[in-house]
Amino acid sequence: MHSILIIDDDDYVLKSLARLLRSEDLGISCYHDPQEALIQCSVREFDLILSDQRMPGMLGTEFFARISESFPSTRRVLISGYTDFDDVTEAFNKGFIHKFLVKPWNNQQLKTVIAEQLNLKELGDSDPVAQQIPAPVEQKAVASGFHGIVTEDTALKDQLSIISRTATTDSPFYINGETGTGKEMVAPSDPYGE
């Protein structure tokens, strides 16, 4: 049985998440206070942690930064009703979170995300983004998987890694740049028709 820790300062949200996931045959621990959850994490490793972003005393991204140091293989899913793009993007860039979901969540989507993350935990995949970008071929070029982009440039590889991480969120992201810089290579479909 997989172990899951849920942290949310809203009692209704905490109970709703626990009730939803209990049907999935999971060992669930719930906490309102991220400090108390950290104490629990000091004596036990969880397969997956689902945390709210804005909580008294600590942001979810801060909590995950601490957890990733001690338990890098624990899957970390952030859920929030706020669009803290800077904090969330930075946490993705640093590898502190694996998935971001927006409140109110879709029950089936949440269950799917949890199942996917637990599967990655079983496979021992602590960084799925690293597997999305193939390894260098004879140290000459890296095929990024972004519609045929091939590069040796370290800065571009870093940007593609960031794009891979942010692409796993349900939040909108704005991509800008001068004409001809390849915006359509990383976001080929424009929902606004512009």
The full set of domain ranges for the chain reads 1-126, 127-188
Least confident window among 40-44, 63-67, 94-98, 131-135: 131-135
Q: Give yes or no for residue 148 having a pLDDT over 60.
A: no
| pLDDT score, position 80 | 85
**pLDDT tier, 139 (very low <50, low <70, confident <90, very high otherwise):** very low
Q: Which residues in 30-52 are b (16+ Cβ under 10 Å) and which e?
A: bbbebeebbeebeeeebbbbbbb
Task: Specify the pTM.
Answer: 0.64
Q: Give yes or no for residue 52 having a pLDDT over 90.
A: yes
Average pLDDT estimate for 26-44: 92
Q: Does domain 1-126 correspond to CATH entry 3.40.50.2300?
A: yes
| pLDDT score, position 137 | 39
160 or 139, which is more confident?
160
| pLDDT score, position 11 | 92
**pLDDT tier, 132 (very low <50, low <70, confident <90, very high otherwise):** very low
